[in-house]
Amino acid sequence: MTPVISVTGLTRRYRDHVALDQVSLEVEAGSIVGLLGRNGAGKTTLLRILAGQEFPSAGDVLVHGAPPAENEAVLRRMVFVREDQTYPDFKVRHALRVASWFYPNWNAELADALLADFGLPAGRAIKKLSRGMRSALGIVIGLAARADVTLFDEPYAGLDAVARQIFYDRLLADYAEHPRTILLSTHLIDEAAGLLERVIVIDRGRIVLTADADDLRGVATAVSGPVLAVDEFTAGRVVWDRRRVASRVSVVVVGGLDEADRLLARSLQLDLTPLTLQQLVVQAAAQPADTLERTSA
């Protein structure tokens, strides 16, 4: 399968810092990919370059096989929803009407249904919307556009938990009927974990991890117990993040555990807890690049 997004050696330098440093990645058509990382990691810059809003300093970016910048054949099959989108002095319905003109697959019924779900008043001026409501508007546009490539940058800033669940549910439901490529950047990793088929973790402008979400479940485990027992268990394993409290210690063991490992842990009276995706990302961001890929490969 050819990748719908293909990035090679992408670098974006600003005057005093490097936002993206030799980033290479591929995204297959028809998948939901999480772009995860801390504030300032380079997520937004990467998405802006993919959407042709920003220009690379070096490297190649291909979307549908062609560079996206100023290329309408590519851009018109793409929608970019960003947290800090500025709108003209529009009301909500004006923004939706305009968006509908630019997307051949625009679905007005879906847009109306989403407006109702989020309780978004169509006649309200956008600048009078709360932060959460403004995010909801972005989500409505991003989903109703049904664009081949849908880029969501922190789409639910300020949205409450109920509204976020609506977003996840609606996204999955519509994706099931109209498969497309969705790239979603977020900090709320565990919440979104259920949606994601692949994750890309970016830290300080570099890709530190790309993996199938399924492969990451159980790839790292927190092991805690008495120091000697933990040391016995972890001998010969890759260990991250050792924390000691009095005579007990807690470490993160990388690599899957088999039945024998679990029996051993039980006999040593150790607690085993699989790392959630969020914990894994936090750990991965703290490690030198590629350690996880080596161990999970």
Residues at the contact surface with another protein, assessed by CB under 8 A:
48, 51-55, 70-72, 75-82, 85-91, 94-95, 97-99, 101-103, 147
Helices 161-177 and 131-144: angle between axes, nearest 10 degrees: 0
CB 21 within 8 Å of CB 12: no
Q: How far is the CB of 100 from another protein (least distance, A)?
A: 10
- Coil, helix or strand at residue 36: strand
CB 144 within 8 Å of CB 106: yes
Q: How far is the CB of 53 from another protein (least distance, A)?
A: 5
Token pair recorded at residue 117? 């779900």
- By C-alpha distance, which of 138, 40, 122, 127 is closest to 85? 138
Q: How far is the CB of 186 from another protein (least distance, A)?
A: 18
Nearer to another protein, 76 or 266 (CB): 76
Q: How far is the CB of 101 from another protein (least distance, A)?
A: 5
Nearer to another protein, 88 or 288 (CB): 88
DSSP assignment of 158-202: T--HHHHHHHHHHHHHHHHHS--EEEEEES-HHHHTTT-SEEEEE
Q: How far is the CB of 87 from another protein (least distance, A)?
A: 5
- By C-alpha distance, which of 266, 204, 242, 252 is closest to 40? 204
Nearer to another protein, 71 or 267 (CB): 71
Nearer to another protein, 55 or 119 (CB): 55
Nearer to another protein, 83 or 293 (CB): 83
Q: How far is the CB of 63 from another protein (least distance, A)?
A: 11
Cα 97 from chain centre: 28
Torsion of CA 281, 287, 290, 295, to 10 degrees: -80
Token pair recorded at residue 216? 């990451």
Nearer to another protein, 80 or 240 (CB): 80
Count of all residues that appear for the chain in the document: 297
Nearer to another protein, 85 or 295 (CB): 85
* Residue 168 burial class via C-beta count within 10 angstroms: exposed 0-12, middle 13-18, buried 19 and up: middle
Q: How far is the CB of 146 from another protein (least distance, A)?
A: 13
